[in-house]
Structure 1
Amino acid sequence: MAKQMKEAPAVPPELLSWMCEIRQSIHHNPELSFNEYDTADYVRSKLKEIGISRQWKVTETGVVAEIGDPGSSSVVGLRADMDALPVKEETGLPFASKHTGIMHACGHDGHVAMLLGAAFLLQGMSFPGRVRLLFQPAEEKGNGAESMIAGGAIDNLAAIFGGHIDTHYETGSITVDEGIICAFADAFIVTINGSAGHAARPHECKDAIVAAAGLILSLQSLVSREVNPNHAVVVSVGRIRAGEIHNVIAGEAVLEGTIRSTHQDSRTAVISGLKRMVRSCAECYGVQVDLQFPEFLPAVINDSVGTQVARQAAEKVVSSGNVISQGPSSLGGEDFSFYLQKTKGCLVRFGARISDTAGPAHSSTFDFDEAVLGIGASWYAQVAETFLCGCGDR
């Protein structure tokens, strides 16, 4: 029998204004993965400002805090990521980045503001158990969550919830989906070693650039001819480094890319095919080829319990008509996946479309509707209360 849920916590105008100030301050002073020192200090000061003294560091720049009964064994986690991207900002905002080449281009500044707003709301709410707030470094680098886990940030958690600002959706909507919502992400590096020489005497060399070009063209058939067409897969080479001068044949080329997939069998097939093509490249061009997989992000898979709680909370915050599906799984990666390998939980998306002039996430002109901060704060507080109060059948 489902219990009656309380009304979602309201966000007064002064709290929204406070969150906007926080977002803009963090946006103005962005920091890259594992360098969020000023951001972490700022978060700790804001927690102290609203009376939250139970806080501690995890890793060098992670911050964890708790609200509620310190003696309770029932603990739910809420996570926000804090790091920026190596992007030169071109928004023209009055609070644009003061650090050239670094920008909050993915909404993490907003996530921090939301979770601090939720902390304020939770301070005035009554619930059993404890709420643990995780301000996480290095989501963009892909291993910030792992560092938080290693540091004990999710020890004894019964569940964890998170949200991501997404300008594909209208402000006032929250996407909630069970199952895979973000892809497996496998980064790869291919190093091709041939032999350098004069551009006028190619027969005396082993051209690494020609071998690299052949391999890149071959990779395009991996998805079109080796993957079930009903399964979403992307193979992209994002960086090539080769050569020093126009009249010297390059002896080395390095390719860096990523594989994104939403089905384990397709992921296995593409990785196997990449390995085969690397071997063939070496044989075909008479070069040495080394393949490495330096990073791996598992898929974000929302479980049924976490999804039920997240949906109940979202319906209280934005009404059932505005709780929507994101549609097909995103091919983006998200290290929230590491938390969901350890405990129950759910990652949602907060609609925050602002204007046609704002660019997409990870672009130099990215921006979002700050009205989403109130929605996110209310949902974070509501989802914690919903889980701890045992609302819904589980």
Structure 2
Amino acid sequence: MKKINDWVKKNNQLLLDTYASLHELAEVSWKEENTRNFLCSQLDKIGVSYETFEGHYGIVVTWKGVSEAGPTIALRTDMDALWQNVNGEWKANHSCGHDAHMTIALNTIRCLKEINFQPENGCFKVIFQPAEESGNGAKALIKNGVIEDIDYLLGIHVRPINELRFNEVSPAIYHGAAAMLKGTIKGLQAHGARPNQGINVVDSLGAIIAAVNAVKVDPTVPSSAKVTQVRAGGDSINIIPDEAEFSIDMRAQTNEAMDWLVERVIKAVQSGGEANGATVHINIGAQMAAAKPNRLMETIVGSAIKDVLGEKSLAASPVTPGGEDFHFYPKEKPNLQATMIGLGTDLEPGLHHPNMKFNLQAIGNGVAVVTASIIKLFEKAGKQGKA
């Protein structure tokens, strides 16, 4: 553990430089080409084997042990940025911390190499995953078969100041489930002077908003549904519009509550939106699974946090309404032991804010905790065999 802390302290400027490079390379979901190229160039310098894919810009690093007859322990990081208005300019922007996550993952490999760690039995993988913000990046890598041999999986995410302070780290983040509905409405054009001859999709939008807001959720399970986008009409004010689009953001703390909410909201939308004779079509644009606590992984990570940062740094795992597609991995493979580490950074004013800032020294804490957790997982797996 001392070797890890010494490495982090010695390489502080390297961590900051890596972060700065990745921050400037911000690219939105499915377009992370320059980000991938930078990461590959760094992996070549480190000297590890990796695989790239057709159809997306993900990377999977594979570091085999002396003997392959053992567990596969993996670390996953996200790669994409958000598209948002930053001080009057629309641009790709890393306002969710994925640049920090990639910096931690890349330099965890470096740290392990340079402190002369070598897996004895099994394999260590690092998954650089595209398109987390789309909600479909994890599913793409699952289709590529990358989790088939993985037994233990770690993730990490920077946390806002209201959840964790700088130098605090939690062994898990209890994300909620999320679903994004996208819909279209088809009505009938008419002259504005003769609205009775048309079907006004703006009326449908109003009814849909009211219907969604009227859905009653279980007050014991944090849940919400709200219309977040609407588009209708053209340039002419005197025409009854016949086409519209809308989007609905839904959150629930459990997967079961989300399943219920999706079913109820879709029924409400169709009932309200079609009351005037319009036709409504709905599809799920993206969906994220809720986290499920894993006591084994949380115990091991908690031990790593105490060993490298001290007992005062071990914080309770925050419960957050935000979503993360990391949780699709254990949902798809139920016997996969997985947890996402919460990294305290004094992040303000909040995740996804265009001017989000955080204490960059927290990146070193992330490298230390993840590196120590990986070593501890290999030690535990070596004692009890393959999971």
The alignment's TM-score, normalised by the length of structure 1, stands at 0.88
1:110 aligns with 2:100: yes
* Residue 318 of structure 2 is aligned to residue 323 of structure 1: no
Partner of 1:35: 31
Letter of the 2:71 partner, please give it: S
Match of 2:218 among 209, 219, 228: 228
Cross-structure match for 1:77: 74
Which amino acid letter does the alignment assign opposite residue 45 of structure 1? S
Match of 1:377 among 367, 375, 380: 367
Residues 200 and 262 (structure 1 numbering): CA distance in 2 closer, same or farther, change over 3 Å? Answer: same
Identity of aligned pairs, percent?
Answer: 22
2:152 to 149, 155, 159: 159
Hey, what does 1:95 align to over in structure 2? none
* Cα contact 2:86–2:355 (8 A) shared by 1: yes
Q: Which secondary structure does the structure 2 equivalent of 1:348 belong to?
A: strand
Q: For residue 274 of structure 1, report the CA deviation from its aligned partner.
A: 1.7
> Partners in 2 of 1:40 and 1:282 — Cα distance?
43
Aligned amino acid, residue 86 of structure 1: W
| 1:151-205 per-position Cα deviation (integer Å, ceiling 9, x unaligned) | 232231111001001132211111224xx81112121123222211122221111
Q: Distance in 1 between matches of 2:280 and 2:90?
A: 36
Distance in structure 2 (CA, Å) of the matches to 1:258 and 1:131: 36
Letter in 2 for 1:147: A
SS at 1:56 equivalent: strand
Q: Secondary structure at the match of 1:209?
A: helix
Aligned to 2:43: 47
Q: Which moved more, 1:56-65 or 1:382-391?
A: 56-65
SS of the residue aligned with 2:259? Answer: helix
Aligned residue for 2:260? 269
- Separation in 2, partners of 1:253, 1:385: 54
- Which deviates further from its counterpart, 279-288 or 211-220? 279-288
Structure (1 or 2) with the greater strand fraction: 2
Contact 1:237 1:255 in 2 (8 A): yes
Matches within 5 A, 1:286-301: 286-301=277-292
Query: What residue is the counterpart of 1:62 in the other structure?
Result: 58
Tell me which of 240, 258, 271 is aligned to 2:249. Answer: 258
Please tell me whether residue 172 in structure 1 is matched to residue 167 in structure 2: yes
1:215 and 2:205 correspond: no
Deviation at 1:265, TM superposition (A): 4.2
In the TM superposition, what whole-angstrom CA distance separates every residue of 1:210-255 from its partner, at most 9, and x where no partner exists? 1111220121121xxx322111001121110101132211112211
Counterpart selection for 1:285 from 276, 279, 283: 276
8 Å CA contact 1:58–1:148 kept in 2: the answer is no
Change (3 A) 1:261 1:350: same
Q: Which segment is superposed worse, 208-217 or 67-76?
A: 67-76
Instruction: Tell me which moved more, 142-151 or 104-113.
Output: 142-151
Match of 2:297 in 1: 306
* Kept after mapping to 2: 8 A contact 1:302/1:340: no
Residues 1:240 and 1:64: Cα distance change in structure 2 (over 3 Å):
same
Contact 1:240 1:254 in 2 (8 A): yes
Instruction: Verify the 8 A CA contact 1:127 1:389 in the aligned structure 2.
Output: no
SS class of match (1:219): helix
**Could you say what secondary structure the match of 1:48 adopts?**
helix
Distance 1:268 1:77 in 2: 29
The 10-residue stretch of structure 1 (309-318 or 116-125) with the greater mean CA deviation from structure 2: 309-318
CA gap 1:201/1:138 in 2 versus in 1, 3 angstroms: same
| 2:120 is the alignment partner of 1:128 | yes
Q: Distance in 1 between matches of 2:198 and 2:110?
A: 66
Asked whether the equivalents of residues 307 and 346 of structure 1 are also in contact (C-alpha less than 8 Å), the reply is yes
Q: Which amino acid in the other structure matches residue 278 of structure 1? A: V
Q: Secondary structure at the match of 2:303?
A: helix
Rounded to whole Å, the distance in 1 between the matches of 2:313 and 2:266 is 45
TM-score by length of 2: 0.89
1:388 to 2:378 alignment: yes
- SS state of the match for residue 285, structure 1? coil
Contact 2:230 2:246 in 1 (8 A): yes
1:300 Cα deviation after fit: 2.2
Q: Secondary structure of 1:256's partner?
A: strand
Gaps of 5+ in 2: none
Question: In 2 relative to 1, CA 146–112 (structure 1 residues): closer, same or farther, beyond 3 Å?
Answer: same
Shift of 1:70: 5.4
Counterparts of 2:146 and 2:247, CA distance in 1: 32
| Cα distance in 2, alignment partners of residues 246 and 196 from structure 1 | 12
Instruction: Report the secondary structure of 2:292's partner residue.
Output: strand
- Residue 264 of structure 1 and its aligned partner are, at CA, apart by 4.0
Provide the aligned C-alpha RMSD in A.
2.3
- Pair 1:360 & 2:357 matched: no
More displaced stretch, 117-126 vs 236-245: 117-126
Distance 2:23 2:187 in 1: 45
CA drift at 1:103? 0.9
Residue in 2 that maps onto 1:20: 16
Instruction: Say which is worse superposed, 367-376 or 305-314, in terms of deviation.
Output: 305-314
State the number of aligned residues. 372
Q: Is the 8 A contact 1:87 1:363 kept in 2?
A: no
Structure 1: give runs of 5+ residues left out of the alignment: 1-5, 92-98
